[in-house]
Amino acid sequence: MLKSLVIIQFDPKYTNQIADLILHIQRNEFFVEITLSDQPDLLDINSFYIKPGGNFLIALDNDTVIGTIAALDISNDIYVLRKMFVASDYRGKEKGVAQVLLDKLLLWLKEKNAKEIYLGTISKYKAAHRFYEKNNFVEVKKENLPNTFPLMKVDDRFFKYSFK
């Protein structure tokens, strides 16, 4: 695991780095046609994720944003996992960045007595699908999502994690 890895709760001073990281991965690595204006949550993380009872964690390596993960409270102890991104140089089991981010978020959710967390993703994020499945997420059909689930137009696969 990366020795210089630090996980913190969202700090507004990292807003631009967060947006740059996520847009770079979406547009340049996976060629998803999405812009910053399609994701207004990235410019107002406090209002979108934190104030309504959610969370937004940042992975840092020497004060550089290398990963993100968020939980959005959608009602009745049900959450949505959003904005899980890790810079390409920091991916993989050996680095452990994605696993540490997910573990910290799941621990936080467990402490909040969450029942379930859902996520939407894109078919081409195959490594992400394997990662979620390895972490006990199960695929669900779109029609089985909670009615409060915020659909993103690009998402075409959905997963759910249940807290026991």
In whole angstroms, give the CA distance from residue 20 to residue 112.
Answer: 30
In whole angstroms, give the CA distance from residue 96 to residue 14.
Answer: 21
Boundaries of every domain in the chain = 5-162
Per-residue pLDDT of the chain (164 residues; tens, 9 = 90+): 778 899 999 999 999 999 999 999 999 998 888 899 999 999 999 999 999 899 999 999 999 999 999 999 999 999 999 999 999 999 988 899 999 999 999 999 999 999 999 999 989 888 899 999 999 999 999 999 999 999 988 899 999 999 97
Residue 96 neighbours by CB distance under 10 Å: 15
CATH of the domain spanning 5-162, picked from 3.30.390.10, 3.40.50.2300, 3.40.630.30, 3.40.190.10? 3.40.630.30
Tokens describing residue 149: 């689930």
In whole angstroms, give the CA distance from residue 87 to residue 117.
Answer: 23
Of 92, 111, 99, 88, the closest CA to residue 135 belongs to 99
Q: How is residue 87 annotated by DSSP?
A: -
Report whether 146 contacts 118 (CB < 8 A): yes
Tokens describing residue 39: 């994701």
